[in-house]
Amino acid sequence: MRAISRGDGGRRKQGCQACKNTRCLVHLVPLESRRFPIVILNGADFQPEDRILLSGYHAPMSAPRNVTLLLNLGHAFDHLLMLIFPTVVLAMSAELGRGYADLLPLSLGGFIAFGACSIPAGWLADRWSRTGMMTVFFFGIGTASILTGFASGAVQIALGLTLIGVFAAIYHPVGIAMLVANRENVGRVLGVNGVFGNVGVAFSALLAGALAEAAGWRAAFIVPGAIALGVGVAFALAARGAQGGAPARKSPAAAKLSRADLARVFACSRSPPPAAA
């Protein structure tokens, strides 16, 4: 690629060799003194070089409607599955032979993991993939809930609840970030998402109590976990379709310049143009 300058007679002159290695359109517009040319980078987006080479990095785009709906459902499942145990613990006491005060601390590990694991979950989403992390969320929290339903003792129940908390921690730093990406009406989007989360909180006691009364406390974990797995399959398919249609966007992608390219551009700009013939 060439750096173009206009001298006497408007003839084109080739700039320095370094300009050929840049990945965007570069125009050198010299002033009258020809010592301080203006560098115009068309559509350039300055990113660190390691960020450009990162395979999972892509420009953010707002989620389609079906993906948005599934993300909101994920918020409902996030809170619903975290709050099943405080409701069914009364039904579990008869089978396990332990009182309410003895069983309730079993959920401590899950709530600690729910808060602590949100930091590594957000870090993995930035370094790897938000869509991939949300897929892990749906399949992970659904599987953990089903495993808790098949637990046979207090230790296994505690481990199952902790595993639920680990996967539930993924949603807030990852799912909400996907919802608000490139959104203009962020307040409305967050408001709708908050409604889904509160619905999960409200229906956790109602659903868990009804399932525990009808089929036992194990069904209160297994049935919502199986539904979460189904939502995870739908999300994976919807997200794959959204990514497949992403290249068809009309807006052109901004050019990416690493620090090395930026240095070459300004090195070229400081080189004086050849004297006119």
What pLDDT score does 244 carry?
47
What pLDDT score does 120 carry?
95
Assess whether 77 and 118 both reside in one domain: yes
Query: How confident is residue 52, by pLDDT bands cut at 50, 70 and 90?
Result: very low
Alpha-carbon distance of 195 to 190, in angstroms, equals 9
How many CA atoms does the CB half-sphere of 158 hold within 13 Å?
A: 11
E strands, the chain, are 26-29, 38-41, 44-46, 255-257
Taking 3-state DSSP, the helix, strand and coil percentages for the chain, each rounded to the nearest 5, stand at 70, 5, 25
What pLDDT score does 50 carry?
46
Whose tokens are 């979460």? That residue is 228
What pLDDT score does 77 carry?
96
Residue ranges making up the domain that contains 192: 65-248
Query: How confident is residue 276, by pLDDT bands cut at 50, 70 and 90?
Result: low
Buried b or exposed e, range 179-197, using 16+ CB within 10 angstroms: bbeeeeeeeebeeebeebb
Assess whether 30 and 97 both reside in one domain: no
Task: Report, as an integer, the average pLDDT of 220-240.
Answer: 94
What pLDDT score does 224 carry?
95
Assess whether 47 and 110 both reside in one domain: no
pLDDT, greater one: 91 or 45? 91
Assess whether 93 and 184 both reside in one domain: yes
Report how many domains make up the chain: 2
CATH number reported for the structural domain that contains residue 174 in this entry: 1.20.1250.20
Assess whether 217 and 121 both reside in one domain: yes
Least confident interval from 9-18, 67-76, 218-227: 9-18
pLDDT digits (tens, 9 = 90+) for 72-93: 999 999 999 999 998 898 888 8
Assess whether 152 and 240 both reside in one domain: yes
Query: Does position 122 have pLDDT exceeding 90, yes or no?
Result: yes
Alpha-carbon distance of 160 to 256, in angstroms, equals 45
Q: Within a domain: residue 107?
A: yes
Assess whether 182 and 258 both reside in one domain: no
Q: What is the DSSP string of 246-270?
A: GGG-SSPPPEEE-HHHHHHHHHHHH
The separation between the first and the last C-alpha atoms of the chain, rounded to the nearest angstrom, is: 23
pLDDT digits (tens, 9 = 90+) for 192-204: 999 999 999 999 9
